[in-house]
């Protein structure tokens, strides 16, 4: 282990100057435009980019530390977009984003995603147990979000909220718009608050999933647990996954701020923010899909088994899209 650390330190010392120079030149372009670079700097970027690819290849082959490999992968990706991105059409760039950039960015935060998923599951269970033991907890956990769905409501009313009679197109559209806005605020909040060492992100996740557990406990106490599960699953597999990914992206930044390594905290946070930018771009797509499922299809589909089938199929689709192994594509 000690030999591996010495090997990694020697490797970094020999090549780090080139990496930092490439990073600095790319920052100029990303912050302003390529016109800010001199002719010498423009010519240097392709050379430094290929040097970085070589370093990345060596790092992977010799199993150097994962943080160094992640850094070089991010730097190589940014260099690739500068060297080759200008030749790509908008259609090509969009295809590359959906085919490679977005799922690759999500896979890059798999540890944070597992952590957020564990927190969310634990909070849901705690919220359920608290309300199941004492219904007085319901108001504290749910607050104004209950909209009449509270322990004082009748079973018939609670059942009616699971099978709404919305037929007007305007009503469905307005509801979808409201739900999309709310979900976007929660997810973006979990991401944006990550800079504060990730603590507010964890708090926000706990708050929202405690509320989910409280809802589950209330409806289960009236014999409507299965029905609520179908009502939630049709959109929740997308919506809650998006919230977890937003929290994971926020924790990625928070971890970089707390443990910046040999870089200044601001620089480390900025680099982490760029690495998870594609995640948040994709998360907004997920929230749009969730808004459509929640505001329209959940109202149209009234059968419980059909709701579960749709929610399960969508979850399998997201997991396959993000995590199904695919052939590595060489950048150059």
Residue 96 within any structural domain of the chain: no
Residue 123 within any structural domain of the chain: yes
Given a cut of 60, whether residue 6 has pLDDT beyond it is no
C-alpha to C-alpha distance for 315 and 43, rounded to whole angstroms:
46
What would the two tokens of residue 286 be?
Answer: 């997920």
318 & 242 share domain: yes
- Model pLDDT, residue 230: 93
First CA to last CA distance, the chain: 32
Q: What 3-state class would DSSP assign to 245?
A: helix
Which burial class, exposed, middle or buried, applies to 266 when counting CB atoms under 10 A from its CB (0-12, 13-18, 19+)? Answer: exposed
Residue 199 within any structural domain of the chain: yes
- Model pLDDT, residue 24: 84
278 & 315 share domain: yes
82 & 172 share domain: no
Q: CA of 262: how far to CAs of 1, 14, 256, 268, in Å? A: 20, 16, 11, 9
Q: Are 56 and 73 in contact (CB under 8 A)?
A: yes
Location of structure tokens 């490439």: 22
Q: Are 124 and 209 in contact (CB under 8 A)?
A: yes
Average pLDDT on 4-26 reads 76
pLDDT in tens, 82-138: 776 655 566 777 888 898 889 989 999 999 999 999 999 999 999 999 999 999 999
41 & 116 share domain: no
C-alpha to C-alpha distance for 302 and 315, rounded to whole angstroms:
19
Given a cut of 70, whether residue 54 has pLDDT beyond it is yes
134 & 186 share domain: yes
Residue 224 within any structural domain of the chain: yes
Report the 10 Å Cβ neighbour count for 234. Answer: 27
Higher pLDDT, 1 or 164: 164
- Model pLDDT, residue 63: 62
Higher pLDDT, 221 or 53: 221
189 contacts: CB under 8 Å, gap ≥ 6: 204
Q: What is the reported pTM?
A: 0.71
Q: Around 175, how many Cα atoms within 13 Å sit in the side-chain half-sphere?
A: 17
pLDDT more than 70, % of the chain: 85
73 & 201 share domain: no
Q: Are 241 and 286 in contact (CB under 8 A)?
A: yes
Residue 103 within any structural domain of the chain: no
Given a cut of 50, whether residue 158 has pLDDT beyond it is yes
Q: In the structure, what pLDDT confidence band is assigned to residue 297 with cuts at 50, 70 and 90? A: confident
pLDDT in tens, 178-206: 556 666 777 888 887 777 777 889 998 99
144 & 273 share domain: yes
- Model pLDDT, residue 88: 54
Which burial class, exposed, middle or buried, applies to 274 when counting CB atoms under 10 A from its CB (0-12, 13-18, 19+)? Answer: middle
Given a cut of 50, whether residue 65 has pLDDT beyond it is yes
Q: Which of 4-13, 73-82, 123-132, 292-301 has the highest mean pLDDT?
A: 123-132
66 & 116 share domain: no
pLDDT in tens, 244-291: 999 999 999 988 888 887 777 777 777 788 778 889 989 989 988 988
Higher pLDDT, 88 or 41: 41
Given a cut of 80, whether residue 301 has pLDDT beyond it is yes
Number of domains in the chain: 2
Q: Are 204 and 190 in contact (CB under 8 A)?
A: yes
272, 294, 265, 127: which is closest to 205 by C-alpha? 127
Residue 292 within any structural domain of the chain: yes
Higher pLDDT, 157 or 265: 157
180 & 252 share domain: yes
Average pLDDT on 64-88 reads 74
318 & 268 share domain: yes
Length of the chain: 332
Range of the domain at 63: 2-87
164 & 69 share domain: no
126 & 228 share domain: yes
């Amino acid at each position: 282990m000690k030999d591996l650390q010495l090997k990694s330190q020697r490797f970094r010392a020999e090549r780090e100057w080139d990496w930092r120079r490439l990073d600095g030149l790319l920052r100029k372009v990303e912050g302003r435009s390529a016109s800010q670079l001199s002719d010498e700097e423009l010519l240097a970027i392709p050379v430094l980019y290929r040097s970085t690819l070589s370093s990345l290849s060596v790092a992977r082959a010799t199993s150097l530390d994962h943080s160094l490999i992640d850094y070089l992968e991010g730097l190589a990706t940014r260099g690739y977009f500068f060297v080759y991105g200008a030749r790509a059409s908008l259609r090509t760039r969009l295809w590359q984003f959906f085919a490679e950039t977005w799922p690759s960015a999500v896979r890059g935060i798999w540890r944070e995603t597992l952590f957020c998923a564990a927190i969310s599951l634990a909070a849901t269970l705690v919220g359920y147990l608290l309300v199941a033991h004492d219904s007085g907890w319901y108001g504290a956990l749910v607050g104004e979000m209950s909209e009449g769905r509270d322990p004082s409501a009748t079973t018939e009313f609670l059942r009616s909220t699971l099978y709404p009679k919305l037929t007007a197109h305007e009503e469905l559209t307005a509801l979808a718009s409201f739900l999309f806005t709310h979900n976007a605020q929660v997810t973006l909040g979990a991401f944006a608050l990550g800079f504060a060492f990730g603590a507010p992100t964890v708090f926000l996740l706990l708050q929202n999933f405690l509320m989910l557990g409280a809802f589950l406990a209330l409806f289960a106490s009236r014999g409507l647990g299965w029905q609520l599960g179908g009502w939630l699953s049709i959109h929740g597999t997308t919506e809650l996954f998006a919230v977890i990914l937003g929290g994971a992206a926020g924790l990625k930044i928070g971890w970089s701020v707390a443990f910046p390594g040999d870089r200044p905290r601001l620089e480390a946070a900025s680099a982490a923010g760029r690495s998870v930018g594609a995640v948040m771009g994709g998360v907004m797509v997920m929230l749009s899909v969730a808004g459509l499922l929640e505001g329209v299809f959940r109202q149209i589909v009234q059968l419980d088994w059909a709701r579960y089938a749709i929610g399960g199929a969508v979850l399998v689709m997201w997991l396959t899209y993000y995590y199904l192994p695919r052939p590595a594509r060489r950048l150059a």
